[in-house]
């Protein structure tokens, strides 16, 4: 299963911090006799994306039954952050709020975003530490590759290895 490039960052950014969502194109099936429709874009909810990512991490790290409780703590943090992201999303059709206009307003908004990111990063780190301590040497090597230099799980390139 393909994982997101920086899922924690994506979760934090999208959880009201700043962010977007992945979009996947799907071809609509036209009604009989109707002209073919173009591709439609469907946005996956943060909760849907995080469940796939949790399953991917569990498989790539080869979590054992003994490690499952520590992994579930991390998964709960990920789910909670996805739920917060989902709650922060405006309902479909809701107009976007006005963007800050002045330099001071933009910097205040950016500062608030960074503070929320730090809180989320700390929660994630506090959940990851006990899990990481329970991993075997082989699992730690995998985790080190997955969580990369930027602190979040890394996207795997076309040949399955971590991207540079």
Q: What are phi and psi of 17, to 5 degrees?
A: -90, -50
Q: What are phi and psi of 98, to 5 degrees?
A: -60, 140
How confident is the model at residue 65, as a pLDDT?
Answer: 97
Q: Please give the residue that has the higher pLDDT: either 8 or 110.
A: 110
- Residue 54 Cα to chain centre, angstroms: 10
Strand (E) or helix (H) holding 62: none
How confident is the model at residue 56, as a pLDDT?
Answer: 93
Could you give the residue ranges of the DSSP H alpha helices within the chain? 7-12, 46-61, 68-88, 103-134, 137-147
How confident is the model at residue 48, as a pLDDT?
Answer: 83
Least confident of 21-30, 53-62, 105-114: 21-30
How confident is the model at residue 152, as a pLDDT?
Answer: 52
Task: Report the distance separating Cα 23 and Cα 31, nearest Å.
Answer: 24
Kindly state the percentage of the chain with pLDDT values over 90: 42
Q: Please give the residue that has the higher pLDDT: either 93 or 8.
A: 93
The pLDDT-based confidence of 67 (bands split at 50, 70, 90) is very high
Check whether 25 has a pLDDT greater than 50.
Answer: no
Task: Report the distance separating Cα 4 and Cα 155, nearest Å.
Answer: 5
Check whether 73 has a pLDDT greater than 80.
Answer: yes
Indicate the SS3 state at residue 42.
strand
pLDDT tens per residue across span 129-156: 999 999 999 999 999 998 876 545 544 4
Q: Is the pTM of this model over 0.85?
A: no
Q: Please give the residue that has the higher pLDDT: either 32 or 138.
A: 138
Residue 133: both structure tokens together: 């301590």
Task: Report the distance separating Cα 56 and Cα 52, nearest Å.
Answer: 6
Check whether 98 has a pLDDT greater than 60.
Answer: yes
- How much is the mean pLDDT over the chain? 73
How confident is the model at residue 150, as a pLDDT?
Answer: 59
Query: Hey, CA dihedral for 5, 11, 17, 21, is it positive or negative?
Result: positive
Q: Please give the residue that has the higher pLDDT: either 19 or 73.
A: 73
**Beta strands 39-43; 23-27: pairing state:** antiparallel
């Amino acid at each position: 299963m393909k994982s997101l490039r920086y899922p924690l960052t994506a979760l934090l950014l999208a959880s009201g911090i700043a962010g977007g969502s992945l979009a996947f194109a799907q071809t609509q099936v036209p009604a009989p006799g109707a002209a073919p429709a173009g591709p439609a874009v469907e946005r996956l909810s943060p909760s849907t994306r995080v469940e796939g990512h949790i399953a991917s991490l569990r498989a790539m790290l080869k979590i054992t039954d003994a490690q499952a409780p520590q992994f579930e703590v991390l998964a709960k943090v990920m789910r909670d952050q996805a739920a917060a992201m989902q709650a922060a999303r405006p309902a479909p059709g809701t107009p976007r709020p006005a963007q800050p206009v002045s330099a001071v307003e933009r910097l205040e908004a950016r500062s608030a975003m960074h503070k929320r990111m730090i809180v989320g990063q700390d929660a994630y780190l506090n959940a990851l530490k006990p899990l990481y301590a329970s991993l075997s040497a082989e699992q730690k090597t995998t985790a080190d590759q997955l969580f990369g230099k930027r602190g979040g799980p890394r996207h795997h390139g076309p040949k399955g290895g971590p991207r540079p």
